Amino acid sequence: MKRRQFLKAAGVAGMATGLAAPAIAQDKITWKMVTAWPKNLPGPGVAAQMLADRITALSGGRLEVKLYAAGELVPSNGVFDAVSEGTAELYHAVPSYWGSKSRGILLFGSQPFGLRADEQLGWLVHGGGQALYDEMYGRFGLKPFLCGNSGPQWQGWFRNEINSVDDLKGLRFRTTGLASEMCAKLGMAVQAMGGGDMFQGLQSGTIDAGEFIGPWTDSALGFYQVAKNYYWPGVGEPSSAEECAVNKAAYDALPEDLQQAVAYACESLYNPVWTEYTTKHAAALKQLVAEQDVQVKKLPDDVIVAMGNAAGEVIAELREDDDELVKRIVESFLGYREGIAEYMVYADNGQMNARAMDYKYGG
């Protein structure tokens, strides 16, 4: 699908007209999935359709999930409330969009200088994170699952070069989640917007820079047409988890085998979605450089350190949050991060550093 089609889809806004019960005919249940994405947007839009199809398939067709892209039933920023209120039965989005509900939610999506995609899943499955995830979303009548990850995101597209921390002051920048709080502490004027609006903002000059996901998705949205400086590493989001949240009353009303179909569909897609992003990001980056004259640039070390210090302030503030549940979430995250970071120095970090050394390989 071309960029213009994505922008058109991203700009559509719709509102739900009322509460609808699941349609049941001949023991078949039909659920509505609302998403935060244009239909079939490379990356999250594709993943959302995969999830709808997989739930339907694993249920043997007894639970059919019909997908509604952003704006078709509710606007992208309305999917959380739509499912919480029962207008739709489930949504596909990212936790980073729901900080207005609770800042604690943001930790389940991404954390500046935080967990990689595999570590994020490890925290939820093996580090106690899922119980906290369930408890937080339970406040809103939701049952949450992680169902994918974009892997490391990029720092984004910049109209002008970044040479020092001073260049960030007053910079009008699109980002989301805890990364927005980190950037604000460095004097950046943070703005939240969808991918289509980000393109238009860069084109018109109403924003100076922005990040969305990574090369595969970003190229589909055409950011390279209006900003050529593409900066890494995306320390604001070392990974970004995608989630499916289900209306808890609707989920609890399912027979056990269909509950398992929903849960397994989400769990089984995490790695396929993550590895598709990684594989297609790599190919798209080569194409952007070779064909679109994109300039790939590393953030200066002093900028990375400044961002790390700002991120540390954000996390310290979360530890002092008035909400006792938020405090438990951040302590659980920090405990897992500390333990896994110590190990990764010897494991994955060691392997990646060794692979990058200068030696002959494969002839």
Tokens standing for residue 133? 């995830």
Confidence of residue 6 (pLDDT cuts 50, 70, 90): very low
Assess whether pLDDT exceeds 50 at residue 3: no
Assess whether pLDDT exceeds 80 at residue 49: yes
Sign of CA dihedral 288, 294, 295, 299: negative
Confidence of residue 107 (pLDDT cuts 50, 70, 90): very high
Q: Give the mean model confidence (pLDDT) for residues 260-289.
A: 98
Q: Give the mean model confidence (pLDDT) for residues 24-32.
A: 79
Average pLDDT of the residues of the chain: 93
Tokens standing for residue 20? 């609808």
Closest to 243 in 3D by CA, of 94, 69, 90 = 94
Tokens standing for residue 73? 């039933």
Is the CB of residue 70 less than 8 Å from the CB of residue 36?
yes
Distance CA 54, CA 283 (A): 26
User: How much is the pTM?
Assistant: 0.91
- The pLDDT of residue 27 is 82
**% helix / strand / coil in the chain, to the nearest 5?**
50, 15, 35
Alpha helices in the chain (DSSP H): 3-11, 44-58, 79-85, 117-126, 129-138, 177-185, 195-204, 215-221, 248-253, 256-292, 301-319, 324-344, 348-355
Where residue 308 falls (left for φ over 0; alpha for ψ -120 to 50; beta otherwise) is alpha
DSSP at 300: P
Could you check whether the bond before residue 233 is cis, i.e. omega within 30 degrees of 0? yes
Is the CB of residue 141 less than 8 Å from the CB of residue 82?
no
- The pLDDT of residue 26 is 52
Closest to 107 in 3D by CA, of 240, 211, 248 = 240
Please enumerate in sequence order all residues whose Cβ is within 8 A of that of 99, keeping only pairs 6 or more positions apart, or say none: 105, 106, 177, 178
Distance CA 110, CA 96 (A): 7
pLDDT (tens digit, 9 = 90+) per residue, 316-342? 999 999 999 999 999 999 999 999 999
DSSP at 152: S
Tokens standing for residue 337? 């991060």
Tell me the residue type at 60.
G
pLDDT (tens digit, 9 = 90+) per residue, 247-257? 999 999 999 99
Distance CA 246, CA 353 (A): 41
Assess whether pLDDT exceeds 80 at residue 93: yes
- The pLDDT of residue 363 is 79
- The pLDDT of residue 2 is 45
pLDDT (tens digit, 9 = 90+) per residue, 192-225? 998 999 999 999 999 999 999 999 999 999 999 9
Domains and CATH numbers, the chain: 3-151+238-279 (3.40.190.170), 156-236+296-355 (3.40.190.10)
